[in-house]
Structure 1
Amino acid sequence: MQKIHIIGSVGSGKTTLARTLSAMLKVPHYELDNVVWKRCTTGDIRRTVDERDEYLNSIILTDAWIIEGVHYEWVTQSFQHADVIIFLDTDYAKRTYRIIKRFILQMAGLEKANYKPTFMMFRKMFKWNAYFENESKPEIVKILSQYPDKLIILKDTKEIEKYFKKMLSNGIV
């Protein structure tokens, strides 16, 4: 398993899982938000579609990667090249709790953010969470159904731990 795509809503645990797997497998991980946005000290700048796609392709063409994000409409090549696709289908209430917890930790300076943690961003995360549940998730499930041999759907931390313990014991990870 050298090419992993992790997809899920805000607060689903994508970044945490990507970081954990990255350290365990010694494989670099990439956040799709950072593919979309150039992070600048003066403020984020959205990449053009061509820049974004070129950046994603440059990642995909490497030997090993973990890509994570909620994006699904323009990442088909990542799904196609992935050895495994992990869909984190975390419970809506759990994601809501994590959004609140993350915001508090970021405002207290205890957790790093790629963006400025403002109340406006906090509100957006609730909207994104609801949109994911009601609109994006059915579309994602349909798209991912094209990859049954490499799709893994995990719903909570216990399932994630159980899956990776099994993979470790089988020598796959």
Structure 2
Amino acid sequence: MRVFVTGPTGSGKSTFAGRVADGAALPLYSLDDIHWVKQPGGDRRRAPDERLAMLLSLVQQGGWVIEGVQFKWADPALDSADKIVVLDIPRWSNTLRILRRFARRRRASKENPRATWTALREELRWSSDYYRYERALLFEKLARYREKVIEIHDERTLRRALAHTIVATAIGQPANLPA
């Protein structure tokens, strides 16, 4: 099974993808790890040809879960995916999730670079950009994959899709996620 999970910053992509990967015993890959080179002085974007080479090596594997908001350069993963899951939650819910995550990070450690007020503003800006124009670009791109796209708009649907995937994998059936 190959599953691509996308949606705005803070929508729950990493959590959902991690649970699917764990339940299906599949490797999990984050597009953030391909997109960014982690450095002490601040992360830098990886060169496009290097990103593509890394992604191509991952999608050639037999099964995987790949998650990330970076859909613009992820065509090899979209082409190879059996299912494309879009966490398309309402903007107000996404904003609330970002604020809650920020509060958890601050309580856990103010040393976390993602627990700063600057990081919060950045994530809220990314979310705003997503809902203003990136979301439309995403759905335009996904039109050609319509038969394998699953849109999840709320927590209940998210839990149902996750449970279905885990049960189907456990009994050795294809995980045809419910729409």
Q: Which has the higher helix share?
A: 2
- For 2:92, the equivalent position in structure 1 comes to 93
Deviation string 1:59-82 (CA, Å, 9 cap, x unpaired) is: 111111111111111111110000
Report SS of the residue matched to 1:130: helix
Report SS of the residue matched to 2:11: coil
- Taking only aligned residues, the RMSD between alpha carbons, in angstroms, comes to 2.1
Q: How many residues align?
A: 171
Aligned residues of 2:3 and 2:81 also touching (Cα < 8 A): yes
Unaligned runs of 5+ residues in structure 2 are: none
2:136 corresponds to 1:138:
yes
Unaligned runs of 5+ residues in structure 1 are: none
**Matches of 2:42 and 2:121, distance apart in 1:** 19
**Matches of 2:115 and 2:33, distance apart in 1:** 16
- For 1:26, the equivalent position in structure 2 comes to 25
- The one-letter code sitting in structure 2 at the alignment partner of 1:172 is P
Report SS of the residue matched to 2:71: coil
Q: How does 1:74-93 map to 2 (within 5 A)?
A: 74-93=73-92
Percent identity at matched positions?
Answer: 27
- The one-letter code sitting in structure 2 at the alignment partner of 1:89 is D
- For 1:9, the equivalent position in structure 2 comes to 8
Q: How does 1:1-173 map to 2 (within 5 A)?
A: 2-109=1-108, 116-167=114-165, 168=167, 171-173=173-175
**Matches of 1:164 and 1:116, distance apart in 2:** 27
**Shift of the alpha carbon at 1:42?**
4.9
**Matches of 1:172 and 1:165, distance apart in 2:** 13
Deviation string 1:109-165 (CA, Å, 9 cap, x unpaired) is: 27xx7x543211110111111111110111111111111111101111101122344
Report SS of the residue matched to 1:148: helix
**Matches of 1:144 and 1:128, distance apart in 2:** 20
